[in-house]
Amino acid sequence: MQKIYLVIGIIVLVGLGSFSFTNKALPVFKTYNDSLRNLYSRPVAQWPRPVIDAGAIWSEMAVMPKDDTSWFKADKDPVTQLGKILFFDPRLSGSNQISCSSCHDPDLSWQDGRVLALGNDHLQGTRNTQSLLNVHINKELFWDGRANSFETQMVEPLSAHHEMNMDVPALGEKLGKIKGYETLFEKAYQSKDIDFDKIAQALAAFQKIIKSRSSRYDQFLSGDYKEFTDDEVAGLHLFRTKARCMNCHSGPFLTDTSFHNIGLTYYKRKFEDLGRYNVTKKNEDVGKFRTPSLRELNRTRPWMHNGLFDNLEGVINIYNSGMPQPAKTDEQKNDPMFPKTDRLIKPLNLTPQEKKQLVAFLNTLTGTPYRMRRPELPK
């Protein structure tokens, strides 16, 4: 009899992908839940294959790579230690009031919790501050990928008037006047000479150790299958299938590290942001932005390049709708730059119950944060 129920549950699972139920259908729904748990209570390689469109870049789900020694580099490795101190030092800014940590606060999961970044002269930027958690996985940096290394990325926030407003070529000389830095640079580079290349190298070394810690999601993937509730297991299955999330969010960090237009370009309207087009000048890149990692999701809100959403229900609703766009005018039909929403974005037809289950699963992706103390600054 148990085998019969299991077969029925699998048929329901595969055939429908979800199941709305009433009290009368409860026994069947329980069988459905049992079948789901049975399917996912095994190694990831044996899970049902996710729904992936042709051409999508993806890799299978995996636990957070173990790196128990990463954070120790901030105290043990001289270059990383120097980078940590520089990261928290407001004297890297023109006003001596703003540090890298002003926008990337460790107490706020290495971002600032604001809709849009706030910098020098209390000026507001145009984009949301991205968390530095797991930033080491990205080959290109910023929302639009305009920097291909940490060293080149640093110049912009340091020099921009609305960010740190520092004369970058003068930064080495400025820090050289602080006696304590002579010792730190000599220890890191065997030379007391201070220049921007060394500053950038140290800052890069520190940022590369800023990583997530494991979550309940990792525990489930590692074989602790009782860690998830039935709703969380159902949400995992939806994430991989009907909700189509793995077309962009896959692998150990739940991102393809690529760029997509999800329909938030505001083309030729207030708040327009052409995204990656500003880097490549290719029409097909209008409105494309980086796919963020879903690691530490609940601690890195608000989301999107413009900080538009602050709750998961709202994010799921816009994806569920398929990101509908206004009908094109005749002028727009002939505009080669008119943004095209990514082909991976499609209506999902999720039920209210399925949305709740998807949220339940997404809530498992947040781990215990690493609390980093601010260092004592050299004098």
- pLDDT by residue (tens digit) across 318-374? 999 999 887 888 888 899 999 999 999 999 999 999 999 999 999 999 998 888 889
Contact by Cβ (8 Å): 204, 83: yes
User: Tell me, what's the pLDDT at 371?
Assistant: 81
Residue 74: predicted pLDDT:
82
Which single residue is written with the structure tokens 């095994």? Answer: 42
pLDDT at site 4: 40
Tell me what pLDDT residue 32 has: 67
Q: What is the 3-state secondary structure (H, E, C) of 261-277?
A: CCCCCCCCCCCCCCECH
pLDDT over 60 at 26, yes or no: no
Phi, psi of 288 (to 5 degrees): -85, 140
Within 10 Å of residue 339's Cβ, how many Cβ atoms? 25
Q: Is the pLDDT of residue 30 over 80?
A: no
Q: Is residue 291 very low, low, confident or very high in pLDDT (cuts 50, 70, 90)?
A: very high
Q: What is the pLDDT of residue 170?
A: 96
Could you tell me the two tokens for 32? 């459905």
**Predicted confidence (pLDDT) at residue 11 exceeds the cutoff of 50:** no
The amino acid at 77: D
pLDDT, the chain, mean: 90
Task: Report yes or no: 111 and 118 within 8 Å, Cβ to Cβ.
Answer: no
At 331 the pLDDT is: 87
- Residue 370 has a pLDDT of 80
Helix residue ranges per DSSP H, 105-160: 150-159
Using pLDDT thresholds of 50, 70 and 90, give the confidence band for residue 15: very low
Answer yes or no: is pLDDT of 130 > 70: yes
- In 3-state terms, what secondary structure has residue 288? strand
Torsion sign across C-alpha atoms 174, 179, 181, 186 = positive
Among 175-179, 229-233, 329-333, 351-355, which stretch is predicted with the lowest mean pLDDT?
329-333
- Please list the alpha-helical segments (H only) found in the chain: 2-16, 26-40, 73-76, 78-88, 100-103, 150-159, 171-176, 179-189, 196-207, 216-221, 230-240, 277-280, 312-320, 330-333, 352-362
Find the mean pLDDT for residues 216-229.
97
pLDDT the model gives residue 82: 97
Confidence bin at 20 (pLDDT 50/70/90): very low
Q: β-strands 259-260, 289-290: how paired? A: antiparallel
Q: Token pair for residue 290?
A: 């980086």
Flag whether pLDDT at 5 surpasses 50.
Answer: no
Q: Centre a 10 Å sphere on the Cβ of residue 260 and count the other Cβ atoms it contains.
A: 20
pLDDT band at 68 (very low <50, low <70, confident <90, very high): low
Per-residue H/E/C for 14-29:
HHHCCCCCCHHHHHHH
* Res 248: pLDDT: 98
Q: What is the mean pLDDT of residues 275-289?
A: 97
